[in-house]
Amino acid sequence: MQERLKELQTEALERVNTAGDLKELNEIRVSYLGKKGPITEVLKGMGKLSAEERPKMGALANEVRDAIAAAIESKQKNLEEAAVAAKLAAETIDVTLPGRPVKSGNHHPLTRVVEEIEDLFIGMGYTVAEGPEVEKDYYNFEALNLPKDHPARDMQDSFYITEDILLRTQTSPVQARTMEKYEGKGPVKIICPGKVFRRDHDDATHSHQFMQIEGLVVDENIRMSDLKGTLEVFAKAMFGSDREIRLRPSFFPFTEPSVEVDVSCFKCGGKGCNICKKTGWIEILGAGMVHPNVLEMSGFDSKKYSGFAFGMGVERIAMLKYGIDDIRHFYTNDVRFLKQFSIHE
């Protein structure tokens, strides 16, 4: 009897081991462990055994039963896992195929530059002031110390609508309008972006419409060194922290003294290259101390207040920053151009 049980165990484990699927395994379970299975059959002969041997044999039979059940369970787990693996293998996809495109546009590069500059100056306590594109001659010129017969008016040939109304040639009229609003009381701290217009034929370096951004600070005791320091902050933020600036004397009717501001070349670091025309410096903006006539005309006491102003062409900054070679790109809006400005840097 004992041998028979051992035999059954060996035979059953062998069959479990070679079972190919769950169905076969189930048949094995039924045939060995079922009520009509061989183990039950063997145990029916227990009555012939002595009272001492009977519990021993019972224990052995349970052992055999448990061993087979455990083998079946373990095999079942293996077979189930294999079935899942096979199913998943059949579901394999090509992960290198492209994903469904998510629609996304982006800022025009000029907006990108303007917002960057706005945010920099907002951080320094400036607000953003805006004004009309169609301006009165008074705000565009006269309030900026450019009376009607001033020779400097030749510097910027303008689009007039009537004798007294024109497309603004600069964003400076916003400064004049803003100062007027402050009614002679500082501090004024503004940054003014906007579209401006000049009589130029459109080509690679000229555009009859372009964007400017200007800054103005008016307060008691504003010094030229404050202008220099502010522009240094600007140059480092826009073009890199190791940039330096230099001021060169210049002329604008609305500032005195007036300067042009160069930034050390960000391509060659000042050694000289084709971008900086071998000088190591790149001109980026014009600036100066607000002319006392401008302060007075806008209602500020020039004895008490002083100020500085600066202004730059946004296209120029964008062209330098991104290496764009033709100003017309900004206004043809070729999507192959526009979409390049989506990356956050």
Which of the residues 71 through 130 are near another protein (CB under 8 A)? 97-98, 100-101, 103-108, 110-111, 115, 118, 121-128, 130
DSSP conformation class of 98: P
The one-letter amino acid at 164: D
Nearer to another protein, 197 or 266 (CB): 197
Nearer to another protein, 80 or 130 (CB): 130
Which residues, 296 to 325, sit near Zn ion by CB under 5 A?
none
Written as one string, the DSSP assignment of 246-298 is EEEEEEETTEEEEEEEEEE-TTTTTS--TTTTTTTEEEEEEEEEEPHHHHHHT
Nearer to another protein, 78 or 127 (CB): 127
Which residues, 261 to 290, sit near Zn ion by CB under 5 A?
265, 267-268, 273, 275-276
- Least distance to Zn ion, CB of residue 239, Å: 12
The correct pick among 257, 269, 272, 280 for binding another protein (CB under 8 A) is: 257
Q: How many residues bind Zn ion (CB under 5 A)?
A: 6
User: Beta strands 281-290 and 255-264: pairing type?
Assistant: antiparallel
Nearer to another protein, 118 or 180 (CB): 118
Contact flags string 315-334 toward another protein, x per CB under 8 A:
---------------xxxxx
Report the DSSP beta bridge partners of residue 191.
128, 215
The correct pick among 34, 187, 240, 299 for binding another protein (CB under 8 A) is: 187
Written as one string, the DSSP assignment of 49-93 is S-TTHHHHHHHHHHHHHHHHHHHHHHHHHHHHHHHHHHHHHHT--
Which residues, 152 to 171, sit near another protein by CB under 8 A?
152, 154-155, 159-162, 164-165, 167
Nearer to another protein, 42 or 114 (CB): 114
The one-letter amino acid at 34: G
CA angle 147, 153, 157 (to 5 degrees): 140
Neighbours of 187 (CB within 10 A): 13
Query: Which of another protein, Zn ion, none lies near 127, with the C-beta cut-off 5 to 8 A by kind?
Result: another protein
- Least distance to another protein, CB of residue 285, Å: 14
- Least distance to Zn ion, CB of residue 237, Å: 20
CA distances from 287 to 19, 215, 246 (A): 90, 9, 12
Coil/strand/helix, residue 299? coil
